Structure 1
Amino acid sequence: MKKIIIALSIAFSCAIPTAAFADQAACEAKAVSKEGKPLYGAAKDASVKKCMGSAPADSGCEAKAVSKDGKPLYGAAKTASIKKCEGGK
């Protein structure tokens, strides 16, 4: 029984990073300029980071950063709203 549990834990630990690498590889493939040429350096890093997205908690708090009128907040008001949503981290 212990051998089965160990084998399954090893299999799952190897499978999870593979999915993350597959997402990153797909994002790297999408990192192209407006002319269709591949990006390099900081531009590529920024594009991949944007494609991978931010943490789910961040995106939820950003979506909640709206004014009383329902318009999105900007600048210091947005930052304050996000900090309040995250619990003042």
Structure 2
Amino acid sequence: MKKLLSLLAAASLAFSFATAHAADGDAPKKAPTAQQTKMKTCNAEASGKKGDERKAFMKECLSTKKATQQDKMKSCNAEAKTKDLKGDARKGFMKECLAGAHAA
């Protein structure tokens, strides 16, 4: 349990430093990787779970097994939201993402 919490804390800290660094520079903001999007989605779905139940859920959720269509939809929706896509741009992105180009 302590290892999982330490890992999540380290990942959050690293992500916050990366985000802060990207915001400071003139470079355009990079989109989150598929793994980061997956971690965010799994973390949101795990709210309310504690201890071994949460650990087991996160392990299953983050496993590298083939994603279901529902998982792809969640992941693609989250990515489209972070990119603030709307209208035809969002529709095109979702079509490409759900076809497998961006799916985790």
Q: What TM-score bracket applies, with the shorter chain setting the length?
A: 0.3 to 0.5
User: Relative contact order (alpha carbons < 8 A, sep ≥ 6): 1 or 2 greater?
Assistant: 2
Q: Which of these two proteins has the greater Rg computed from alpha carbons?
A: 1
TM-score (normalizing by structure 2): 0.30
TM-score (normalizing by structure 1): 0.33
